[in-house]
Amino acid sequence: MRRAGNRERIFAVVAAMAALALTSGAFAGSLRDNPLRHDTFAASGLPTPYSAMANPYSAGPQALAEGAQLYIDYCATCHGPSGRGDGEGSTDPRPPSLRRSDRAADGSDDVYFSDGFLMWAISEGGEPIGSPMPPYKLALSETERWNLVAFIAADFPRSR
């Protein structure tokens, strides 16, 4: 019996890793949320100019109130009234939870709740990654999108 050479071992390891990645990704996506945008970001980083963006406006009460209303008007149908991806219009796989408190356990909250990441997701929608989320860069002004970013980044104040 011939011993497996390096090529065969490498192929076996790569095949096993690919199978594991495919099956674990399918289960994780169906059980938790839609990781597609997050995987895209993790693989290539935020596109320019979003990577260096920071909210230029104060997250004061007026901005948060406007962000809350914009969320109800534009986001709650799919992301749910409290941002957990359980809205009546949610898709399969369902939208990710937008609650910082839901994501804090896995350590991704700092990455996925940066101003630039949220502005990218809201502005560009899902088209770059094959998600049904519409882009809002033409429907909402820049100030409105920043107010929505502030509301989501503040973990949905008054909507617990």
Domain with residue 108: its CATH number is: 1.10.760.10
Identify the DSSP state of 155.
Answer: T
Whether the model pTM is above 0.75: no
Query: Quick one: what percent of the chain has pLDDT higher than 90?
Result: 38
pLDDT at residue 141 is higher than 80 = yes
Together in a domain, 133 and 64 = yes
Same domain, 75 and 4: no
Q: Quick one: average pLDDT of 114-124?
A: 92
Q: Are residue 3 and residue 74 in the same domain, yes or no?
A: no
- Note whether 38 and 27 are same-domain residues: no
> In this predicted model, what pLDDT tens digit does every residue of 8-23 receive, in sequence order?
665 554 554 444 444 4
Whether 119 shows a pLDDT value over 90: the answer reads: yes
Query: In 3-state terms, what secondary structure has residue 126?
Result: coil
Mean pLDDT of 127-134: 82
d(CA 75, CA 149): 12
- Is residue 63 pLDDT above 80, yes or no? yes
Least Cα distance to 112 among 16, 44, 64, 41 occurs for 41
- Higher per-residue confidence, 75 vs 111: 75
Bigger pLDDT: 143 vs 27: 143
Q: Which of 42, 31, 68 is nearest to 159 (CA)?
A: 68
Say what the alpha-carbon torsion angle 36, 80, 119, 134 is, to the nearest 10 degrees.
70
pLDDT at 51: 86
Average pLDDT of span 102-109: 64
Number of compact structural domains in the chain = 2
Residue 3 is encoded by which pair of tokens? Answer: 């011993």
63 lies in which domain range? Answer: 34-153
What's the number of CA atoms in the CB half-sphere (13 Å) around residue 25?
10
Higher pLDDT, 25 or 96: 96
- Helix H segments across the chain? 6-31, 36-44, 61-74, 76-79, 100-103, 109-112, 115-124, 142-153
What's the average model confidence in pLDDT over 49-61? Answer: 91
Give me the pLDDT at residue 24, please.
40
